[in-house]
Amino acid sequence: MSDEPVTAATVDGRNTMKKRVLRGVAVQTAVVAAAVHLLWAWPRLGSPPDARPYLFVAGSALAVAVGVATLRAGEYRRLYALGAGTLGTFLGGFLAWHGADAAAALAADPLAVVAAVVEFVGIAAFLALFRLAPPTSVVVERRNDENESGPGDDAGSAGEAGP
């Protein structure tokens, strides 16, 4: 690593091919993980002694929100950490709930296998995006540069026209 500060000019843009592919994989895995958890939780929402269905619905909503933000927002490391953490919580929760019987639970439930694989791939994609993303200060600098000299310049000149 060099001692030079990281600036918007020294960091690759958001739309490099590697980042676009990783974003696509991360978003798809977040949405599939949310769908799998909703498929499991929806029929079980009426059973009061088990809190998992309600937690799965909330976690699924968070996973979808992170996926949408990953597509639309800038390269925010915190967002990628939230995505990896959400999917990691799903995976860690499964392992904690089943404990030593986690392998048997995976073998008995194909939906659990899909969820575990998708979550693992999603965690890897979000962590890769986190690693490739510039510091937040660089993202904010880029956004400010775009706002100052962006496509909005044409719209702003319309109000300056005289009678």
Q: Is residue 76 pLDDT above 90, yes or no?
A: no
With 80 as the cut, is the pLDDT of residue 117 above it? yes
Determine the pLDDT at residue 4. 52
Work out whether the CA dihedral 45, 51, 52, 56 comes out positive or negative: positive
Per-residue pLDDT tens digits for 30-39:
999 999 999 9
What confidence score (pLDDT) does residue 56 get?
93
What is the SS3 string spanning 10-48? Answer: HCCCCCCHHHHHHHHHHHHHHHHHHHHHHHHHHHHCCCC
Angle, in degrees to the nearest 10, between helices 77-98 and 52-72: 160
Specify the residue for token string 């439930």. 109
Domain boundaries, the chain: 15-139
Tell me the pLDDT tens digit for each residue of 12-58. Answer: 677 789 999 999 999 999 999 999 999 999 988 887 788 889 999 99
Give residue 36's Cα distance to chain centre: 16
DSSP result, the chain: --SSPP-GGGS--TT-HHHHHHHHHHHHHHHHHHHHHHHHHGGGTT-TT--HHHHHHHHHHHHHHHHHHHHHS---HHHHHHHHHHHHHHHHHHHHHHGGGHHHHHHH-HHHHHHHHHHHHHHHHHHHHHHHSPPHHHHHHHHHHHHHHSTHHHHHHGGG---
Structure-token pair, residue 135:
């510091």
